[in-house]
Amino acid sequence: MANIRRQQPLSRRNPKGGLSQPLRAWSRRHVYSFFSSLGALVRSPLGTLMTVAVLGIALALPLGLWVGLKNVQQVNPATDEFSTLSVFLNAGTKTAEANKLADEILSWSEVDKVTSLSPDKALADFRENSGFAAAVDALTENPLPWVLEIQILDSTESTDENGELQLKQQLELLLERLQALPAVDFAQYDLKWLERLQALMGLGATISRLLAILFAFAVIFVVGNTIRLDIQNRKEEIEVMSLVGATEAFIRRPFLYTGFWFGLLGGLVAVLLVSLSLALINAPLQRLLLSYQSQFELITPGFSGGILVLAGGGLLGLLGAALAVRRHLQNLNPS
């Protein structure tokens, strides 16, 4: 009687080969679809360029606004730099009276520093920096008063909105006390315009987020519509593939990668548009700042920002393609 040995399954006889074979086949299919979808875009350059241009502009608008806000934040000074009050003394105040008042204010517990600015020094600074030297020379008398710049002791520890509110309360209490002095004409602090600037920047950030959401839907819609037209143009090919046994995943995969490529290329165009725009305005901006003896470095999307835009564009394109494929392939499948 012949000895019959029971054969072991292939996966046991060759564990590595048996388990990795499906994975290798899956990888080959995805790599093929990945590059074949890119080749299909290259073979129709006009349509591809038009779609990518629309996507690039849609992504560039919120990106440009976000970069613009980041650049404005560079010139948004810290709140502690504005914990200063300017006190204007009555006209005709003598030097001795101004110095005595400065020493008195400096002795207050909430005051850190007092700087006196005489009328002659203020007029000289104005003459040098304003560009109206001839008009200043024509004056018969100095119209400027004594000014005391008072730096308060900031007792707030936080730098958030609560800290700013506490600082504002400190300034207002000190302002009332200074206004009550008989030698003081009026006093003011410079935090108000900073509050307005921060409110405008908050509004800009909100608008930027809303635009990002709206244009994200626009990208999804554009990619989805493009994929829908591609599916309709390949209707007969898809029906034949279904009849010969092609799976839905096999049919769907090239369209998904096409949407991914559209989003990725649109993100690349957006980064290039914003970077080019910043490069074009950088030279005129530097000349303007030089006239004010100031320096300012423009913030660009950078490498990390560019990667985020590319990834976001690719994901939006993939989502738009997935929605279009799911809806329209079901209508094309033969019964």
Task: Tell which residue, 266, 221, 218, has the closest CA to residue 52.
Answer: 266
Rg (CA), the chain: 34
Q: Are 71 and 218 within one domain?
A: yes
Single pTM value for the model? 0.66
Give the Cα separation of 44 and 41 in Å (integer).
5
- What value does the mean pLDDT of the chain take? 80
pLDDT at 215: 93
pLDDT > 90? residue 31: no
> For residue 16, is it within any domain?
no
pLDDT at 157: 47
Q: Are 127 and 165 within one domain?
A: yes
> For residue 168, is it within any domain?
yes
pLDDT at 331: 65
Q: Are 43 and 108 within one domain?
A: no
Confidence of residue 278 (pLDDT cuts 50, 70, 90): very high
Confidence of residue 20 (pLDDT cuts 50, 70, 90): confident
Give the Cα separation of 223 and 273 in Å (integer).
20
Q: Which residues, including other chains, have CB under 8 Å from residue 333's CB and lie 6 or more apart?
A: 238, 239, 242
Task: Tell which residue, 328, 321, 327, has the closest CA to residue 223.
Answer: 321
pLDDT > 80? residue 73: no
Q: List, edge to edge, every strand of the sheet that includes 184-189.
A: 111-117, 147-152, 84-89, 184-189
Please say whether the beta carbons of 191 and 77 come within 8 A. no
pLDDT at 328: 74
> For residue 9, is it within any domain?
no
CATH number where 151 lies: 3.30.70.3040
Q: Are 87 and 119 within one domain?
A: yes
Q: What is the pLDDT of residues 179-201, one digit of tens each?
A: 889 999 988 876 667 677 778 88
How many domains is the chain built from? Answer: 2
Please give the average per-residue pLDDT across 68-97, as a whole number.
77
Cα angle: 98, vertex 100, 101; to 5 degrees: 65
**DSSP letter assigned to residue 81:** G
> For residue 29, is it within any domain?
no
Question: Which domain range does residue 92 map to?
Answer: 80-197
For 273, the token pair is 């548009």
> For residue 5, is it within any domain?
no
Q: Are 40 and 63 within one domain?
A: yes
Confidence of residue 164 (pLDDT cuts 50, 70, 90): low
Please give the average per-residue pLDDT across 164-175, as a whole number.
77
> For residue 15, is it within any domain?
no
Q: Which residues, including other chains, have CB under 8 Å from residue 85's CB and lie 6 or more apart?
A: 149, 150, 152, 171, 174, 175, 178, 187, 188, 189
Q: Are 47 and 62 within one domain?
A: yes
pLDDT > 50? residue 2: no
Q: Are 325 and 232 within one domain?
A: yes
Q: Are 228 and 245 within one domain?
A: yes
Give the Cα separation of 147 and 99 in Å (integer).
11
Please say which residue of 143, 178, 197 terminates a domain.
197
Q: Are 213 and 175 within one domain?
A: no
Q: Are 125 and 165 within one domain?
A: yes
> For residue 17, is it within any domain?
no
pLDDT at 144: 86
Q: Are 247 and 309 within one domain?
A: yes
Q: What is the pLDDT of residues 234-250, one digit of tens each?
A: 777 777 777 777 677 77
Please say whether the beta carbons of 55 and 197 come within 8 A. no
Please give the average per-residue pLDDT across 47-68, as a whole number.
92
Q: Are 152 and 265 within one domain?
A: no
Please say which residue of 149, 171, 197 terminates a domain.
197
Please say which residue of 197, 226, 253 terminates a domain.
197
The residue behind tokens 């038009």 is: 50
> For residue 27, is it within any domain?
no
